[in-house]
Amino acid sequence: MKPYERFLNYISINTQSDEHTGTHPSFKGEFVLAKKLKAELEELGLTAELDDKCYVMAHLDATKGYEDKPVLGLIAHMDTAPAYSGSDIKPVIHDNYDGGDVYYPCGKVMKVSDFPHLARLKGETLITSDGTTLLGADDKAGVSEIMTALEILTGDPRPHGPIAVAFTPDEEIGEGADNFDVKKFSADFAYTVDGGDVGDFEYENFNAADATIEIQGVSSHPGTAKGVMVNALNVAHDFHSMLPKRSRPENTEGYEGFYHLTDASGDCNSARLRYIVRDHDRKKFEEMKKHLENCTEAINEKYGKDTAKLILKDSYYNMIEKIRPHMHLIESAKAAIIAEGLEYKEVPIRGGTDGARLSYMGLPCPNLGTGGFNFHGPFECITVERMDKATRVILNIIYDIMERL
């Protein structure tokens, strides 16, 4: 079966994760896909397991004589993003795409002027949604490519080492690694297949933290407020103004970090600001957190003790620190991508992946591209040809690593 055929099958199952349920997995539809994948893995001859947290793990034995080779892991997530509907996806296939603006049945237009990479897809078979939902390429494309690579591998006479496979829930809400059993997975190192264009390779990501600022004001009648009222909304405005405008997401790119105000709420009496804090450089990341602490102290000096309270929680760190001792992962990926006639491109992730957290859990885990674009929205798309190439890149890595180690 071709990767795009699997993909069209998998996206028919709604697996949209939900950060508000508090359950694991966060949405019961993830179990539907998980059970299907377990059955398909077993049909391919792998030993597969599905646990009560919706993690699918499977193992393919090495070719005889290669049992002592390191275990290579392949990982993709089953859920789709909560930001845009993943239910009742109606894929549209654009044969021999002309490289121009894409007109959706619902009236939306995906313009080349907004998405210049579309011009590079000319002549390929483009897959989009109908514009009313996301497509699900993030990351059912990765799931499809891994499954297809395994199917090819089981029928290929060339020798290979042992392979471990995992399909995870709830990556899109930051919980994909929460219940991942690294010991049971038993891989020496792994790749997530969860990136963008097929030639892209990612092994650097943001250091990340969540910051909540709770502000307690003093409410009083506005007619007699002088010297008494401390309007929590005004305090919140003062706090936010202390953060540099140049360090907002809309003003940054590449390796530049940011403070992103994700939501604000409150009234005169109390208010709350929530930020995500990001930077690739660990030293700068720590300095950004220190700046938040200094701003909190300044607010309390100005408005009174305990006016502002800062709650900081680190989310994940830059995986490069854990990848450096395993440079063969980079070398194999580069060789595998170039072997397909693709341009190899190292891309710093302006976000995080399961691989970042797994790397700090003892499983070095950089990220491969799937061939998809414009994730988390109605203009998400992928091509048949790039999915084929992503599958071959996976196979190339399997054979290349076996020769290197």
Q: Please indicate whether residue 79 is annotated as part of the active site.
A: yes
Three-state DSSP string of 230-271: ECHHHHHHHHHHCCCHHHCHHHCCCCCCEEEEEEEEECCCEE
For residues 4 and 293, what is the distance between their CA atoms, to the nearest angstrom?
49
Taking the CA of residue 200 as centre, how many other CA atoms within 13 Å lie in the half-sphere pointing to its CB?
Answer: 18
Q: Please indicate whether residue 171 is annotated as part of the active site.
A: yes
Specify whether the CB–CB gap between 400 and 151 falls below 8 A: no
Sheet arrangement for strand 270-279: 258-266, 270-279, 207-216, 308-316
For residues 398 and 401, what is the distance between their CA atoms, to the nearest angstrom?
6
Of residues 171, 197, 388, 400, which has the active-site annotation?
171
Write phi, then psi, for 310 (nearest 5 degrees): -105, 130
Of residues 30, 79, 139, 175, which has the active-site annotation?
79
Counts for the chain of helices (H) and strands (E), in that order: 10, 18
For residues 154 and 157, what is the distance between their CA atoms, to the nearest angstrom?
8
Residues noted as catalytic = 79, 171
